[in-house]
């Protein structure tokens, strides 16, 4: 991948995070880029597992992949075991009701 493609992908990824669920056309309009450039960038980002696309009728909606989707089930279980129950978590990670 060229530096220019990486820059395009980074800028588009930021926009997808700002407006998750946008279509390729909506992203092209937001970025003021040709739709073919957005399509090529979406393909690269999706093949690198940074985003995912989901069909919504005739539209394809683009969303960023959530951090936990990068983890295997084993890694998620290890994460849960490491943090234990809510009382062991930092206040910022506990439910609102637990922070009283």
Share of the chain above pLDDT 70, in %: 75
What integer is the mean pLDDT of 4-23? Answer: 92
One DSSP character per residue, the chain reads --HHHHHHHHHHHHHHHHSTTEEHHHHHHHHT--HHHHHHHHHHHHHTTSEEEEEETTEEEEEEPPGGGGS-HHHHHHHHHHH-SGGGS-GGGS-GGGG-
What integer is the mean pLDDT of 35-50? Answer: 93
């Amino acid at each position: 991948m060229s530096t220019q493609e990486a820059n395009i992908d980074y800028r588009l990824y930021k926009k997808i995070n700002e407006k998750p669920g946008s279509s390729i056309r909506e992203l092209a309009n937001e970025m003021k880029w040709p739709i073919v450039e957005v399509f090529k960038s979406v393909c690269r980002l999706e093949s690198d597992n940074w985003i995912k696309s989901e069909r919504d009728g005739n539209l394809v909606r683009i969303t960023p992949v959530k951090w936990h989707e990068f983890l295997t089930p084993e890694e998620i279980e290890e994460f849960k075991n490491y943090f234990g129950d809510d009382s062991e978590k930092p206040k910022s990670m506990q439910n609102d009701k637990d922070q009283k």
